[in-house]
Amino acid sequence: MTARRGGLPTMHDVGRLAQVSAMTVSRVLKNDPGVSAATRERVFAAVDRLGYRRNQTARSLRLGGSGMIGLVVTNLANPFYSRLALGVQEVATEYGFRVLLGNSGEQADREPELIDGLVDHQVEGLIVVPAGSRQQHLAAAMRHVPVVFAARPPAGLDTDCVLVEDFHGAREATARLLADGHTRVAFLGNPPALYTGAERLRGFWAAHEEVGVEPDNALIRQGLVDSAAAERATLDLLEQAERPTALFCANNRISRGSIRALYKADTTLPVAGFDDFDLSDVLGLPLTLVSYDADEIGRQAARLLADRLEHRDAEPPPSRRVTVPTRVVRRGSPDRG
């Protein structure tokens, strides 16, 4: 086999000779460790035989697509989403894709416009952290490109997703506070309509049920959308006659707001929080934090999307769900406040 008459050999030519897809050729040329030694040998033999030279500029034309994938997150100012985006970028670069980024700002009504804009820009696939549970616009996008969900699951849609152990992490962190002797643990959470908010509250309740302690509904605050709201809610809890002896915060923004409130009130309470954060180890506060690799969420989502794109002409496999594990870390003293 030789290159097509009148033109240089393409990645498709190499793939046909090596009996693999053009995407697999790209992975081999990028030294992807996930490709078998036998496949690598066939690809390099085809490269040598055809005299193929990689032309990154013409990559998208050779693969028949734009060479771009879209990523939509809900709050780029949140370090969690920044890390997730870095994980997506890492894997996208390995596969030769560029990433177009959109930020919905947690505004569900803004998300359809972002999705439509990315599809109009001919992205080859999408990774989305959905802002709400209404996802008809994503079902429409799935008729054109594969969509992978990250951090939050699809609602009634059959597609891949990557999640965190939200329930397990919240249950384990709350259990640590209960084991320390706290029976009045406050819960400060994000909107309950969000999957993460609901799952983390469910884990909080499960930990109480396992030790036979009834949570006090007067200590539960939900719908906290930022650090300022968490600060106000914490100050309100501290002013109660029977105030909590410990706090559970459902994300890093809420943790920061609660810690600021404790500082302003000149008091110290043990705080359990979902998401580790910078400087948590030097604050000198009794912290119990649910830690996980946010970059890995992005990496796994990008790998699922790349796999869909590599096999786009084949019978699509069943939808897959990947869960990134959590672990609990403790900072400072766990003694009761």
- What would the pLDDT profile of 101-135 be if each residue is shown by its tens digit? 999 988 889 999 999 999 998 899 999 999 888 88
The predicted pLDDT at position 54 comes to 56
Residue 225 shares a structural domain with residue 158: no
Say yes or no to pLDDT of 9 above 80: no
Kindly state whether residue 337 falls inside one of the protein's structural domains. no
pLDDT interval class at 233 (50, 70, 90): very high
Say yes or no to pLDDT of 64 above 90: no
Residue 182 shares a structural domain with residue 280: yes
Number of domains into which the chain is organized:
3
CATH code: domain of residue 38 = 1.10.260.40
Say yes or no to pLDDT of 55 above 50: no
Say yes or no to pLDDT of 6 above 60: no
The predicted pLDDT at position 332 comes to 78
The structure tokens listed for 334 are: 């766990």
Q: What percent of the chain is modeled with pLDDT above 70?
A: 92
Residue 123 shares a structural domain with residue 155: yes
d(CA 37, CA 236): 62
Residue 263 shares a structural domain with residue 206: yes
Mean pLDDT of 80-84: 93
Residue 189 shares a structural domain with residue 279: yes
The predicted pLDDT at position 3 comes to 47
Least confident of 154-158, 196-200, 210-214, 243-247: 154-158
Cα 123 off chain centre by: 20
Residue 91 shares a structural domain with residue 150: yes
Mean pLDDT of 65-86: 90
Kindly state whether residue 334 falls inside one of the protein's structural domains. no
Residue 117 shares a structural domain with residue 264: no
Q: Which domain holds residue 31?
A: 11-61
Residue 77 shares a structural domain with residue 18: no
Q: Are the C-beta atoms of 202 and 172 separated by less than 8 Å?
A: no
d(CA 226, CA 223): 9
- List beta partners, residue 331: 287
Kindly state whether residue 318 falls inside one of the protein's structural domains. yes
Burial 18-38 (b: 16+ CB within 10 A, else e): bebbbbbbbbbbeeeeebeee
Kindly state whether residue 207 falls inside one of the protein's structural domains. yes
Please report where in the chains the tokens 């596969």 appear, as a residue.
95
Backbone angles phi, psi at 335, to 5 degrees: -60, 150
Kindly state whether residue 330 falls inside one of the protein's structural domains. no
Neighbours of 142 (CB within 10 A): 16
pLDDT interval class at 93 (50, 70, 90): confident
Average pLDDT taken over every residue of the chain: 88
Residue 302 shares a structural domain with residue 158: yes
80 vs 97, 148, 152, 332, CA distance in Å? 22, 18, 13, 23
Kindly state whether residue 250 falls inside one of the protein's structural domains. yes
More confident residue, 260 or 315: 260
Kindly state whether residue 6 falls inside one of the protein's structural domains. no
Neighbours of 75 (CB within 10 A): 18
Residue 176 shares a structural domain with residue 283: yes
Kindly state whether residue 32 falls inside one of the protein's structural domains. yes
Among residues 22, 42, 61, the one where a domain terminates is: 61
Residue 245 shares a structural domain with residue 273: yes
CATH code: domain of residue 281 = 3.40.50.2300
Residue 192 shares a structural domain with residue 265: yes
